[in-house]
């Protein structure tokens, strides 16, 4: 069966949200995060990028490159609300939408009868009309191809990869640019003489699995344009998780704890909205060099509260010394779900 997977990637999301609230900042070099004297930029407008400014750059250096640069503080709560509203609206158009981060989502559009180009136009129109934000959309036979397609015509563009051209499309990228391949994976592959996407693809599934484990199998399928059901879809009735991708690498434990606290609140709300309690806590991380790590732990009791989820996730984080390297993404999840009724929540709330 042939699949069509869509990746919807918001353009310079934090900046775009600020500009939608403050239209007078449009078309100006703008940075979110840091200030004129110190700190690090989270993200910047495309006007600022023309001066050589980029995410993760020190504020002072950015200001020297672009004296007209305007700095704004990070307002993660505002960005989260806008993100939730955008993807909530899109889910009405795209039934199989899976939100992967604060500014990105994937959708299986295989069964949608509308012409792909017309669907893309509609999505971009709706986001622009109701939120005054642009996005770039990629479409391909799997998530890897769709994700890489969003890099072709940014910002405010789109790119459609035909199924029979997926392999040659992915072969055109340097191995270091392929989604999911970080510095340590690159080094590991180089030990086996793999320096290109073509060499990765032709090395063989079993050989890659021997080198990289399950990640090797997933990479093989991805660069061969093979569709794999999204874990978030496959496990949608068995687990609940929330994640956020940072615009810059974060190494501060306190800052990471703050994000975990917000995510735990969202997971707790989703549990209670669907009348579930959980037995397993999970923590997902993406490091600065784009390596994914997931930790899980089964608790000795069912839990559902915001505080329990946060405390269990924090314990996992600390047990694995997860903050020893800068992180680009963090996610909190629960599994081992058990259906409960309202009295379960009332009983434990009263006890506490």
User: Which candidate, 272, 290, 293, places its Cα nearest to that of 337?
Assistant: 272
Query: Do 15 and 45 touch, CB atoms closer than 8 A?
Result: yes
Beta 30-32 vs 43-44: how paired, if at all?
A: antiparallel
Please report where in the chains the tokens 């029979």 appear, as a residue.
Answer: 164
At residue 294, φ and ψ (nearest 5 deg) are -130, 130
Q: Are strands 30-32 and 135-140 parallel, antiparallel or unpaired?
A: unpaired
Those residues with Cβ within 8 angstroms of residue 159's Cβ, 6 or more apart along the chain or in another chain: 137, 138, 139, 149, 150, 152, 153
Question: 287: which 2 tokens?
Answer: 């490091």
Q: What is the largest CA-CA distance in the chain?
A: 62
Residue 325 has, within 13 A of its CA and on its CB side, a CA count of 13
Q: CA-to-CA distance for 99 and 115, rounded, in angstroms?
A: 23
* CA atoms of 291 and 182, how far apart (whole Å): 6
- CA-to-CA dists, residue 62 to 12, 52, 58, 168, angstroms: 17, 8, 6, 37
Whether the Cβ atoms of residue 152 and residue 159 lie closer than 8 Å to each other = yes
**Residues identified as active-site:** 104
| Exposed/middle/buried for residue 263 (C-beta within 10 Å: 0-12, 13-18, 19+) | buried
């Amino acid at each position: 069966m042939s699949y069509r997977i869509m990746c919807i990637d918001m353009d310079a999301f934090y900046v775009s949200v600020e500009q939608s609230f403050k239209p007078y900042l449009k078309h100006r070099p703008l940075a979110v995060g840091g200030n004129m004297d110190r700190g690090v930029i989270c993200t910047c407008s495309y006007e600022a990028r023309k001066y050589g400014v980029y995410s993760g750059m020190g504020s002072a250096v950015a200001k020297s490159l672009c004296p007209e640069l305007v700095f704004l503080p990070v307002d993660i709560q505002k960005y989260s609300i806008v993100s939730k509203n955008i993807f909530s609206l899109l889910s009405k158009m795209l039934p199989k939408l899976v939100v992967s981060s604060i500014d990105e989502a994937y959708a299986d559009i295989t069964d949608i009868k509308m012409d792909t180009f017309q669907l893309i136009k509609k999505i971009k129109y709706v986001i622009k009309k109701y939120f005054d934000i642009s996005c770039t959309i990629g479409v391909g036979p799997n998530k890897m191809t769709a994700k890489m397609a969003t890099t072709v015509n940014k910002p405010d563009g789109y790119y459609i990869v035909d199924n029979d051209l997926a392999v040659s499309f992915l072969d055109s990228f340097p191995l270091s640019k392929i989604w999911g391949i970080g510095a340590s994976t690159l080094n590991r592959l180089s030990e086996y003489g793999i320096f290109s996407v073509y060499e990765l693809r032709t090395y063989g599934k079993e050989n890659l699995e021997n080198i990289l484990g399950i990640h090797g199998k997933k990479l093989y399928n991805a660069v061969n344009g093979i569709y794999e059901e999204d874990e978030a879809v496959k496990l949608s009735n068995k687990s609940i998780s929330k994640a956020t991708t940072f615009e810059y690498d974060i190494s501060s434990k306190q800052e990471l704890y703050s994000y975990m606290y917000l995510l735990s609140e969202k997971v707790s709300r989703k549990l209670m909205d669907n009348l579930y309690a959980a037995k397993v806590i999970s923590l997902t991380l993406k490091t600065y060099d784009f390596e994914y790590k997931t930790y899980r732990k089964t608790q000795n009791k069912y839990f559902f509260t915001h505080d329990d989820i946060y405390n269990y996730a924090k314990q996992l984080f600390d047990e694995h010394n997860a903050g020893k390297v800068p992180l680009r993404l963090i996610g909190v999840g629960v599994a081992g779900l058990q259906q409960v009724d309202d009295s379960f929540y009332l009983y434990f709330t009263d006890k506490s």
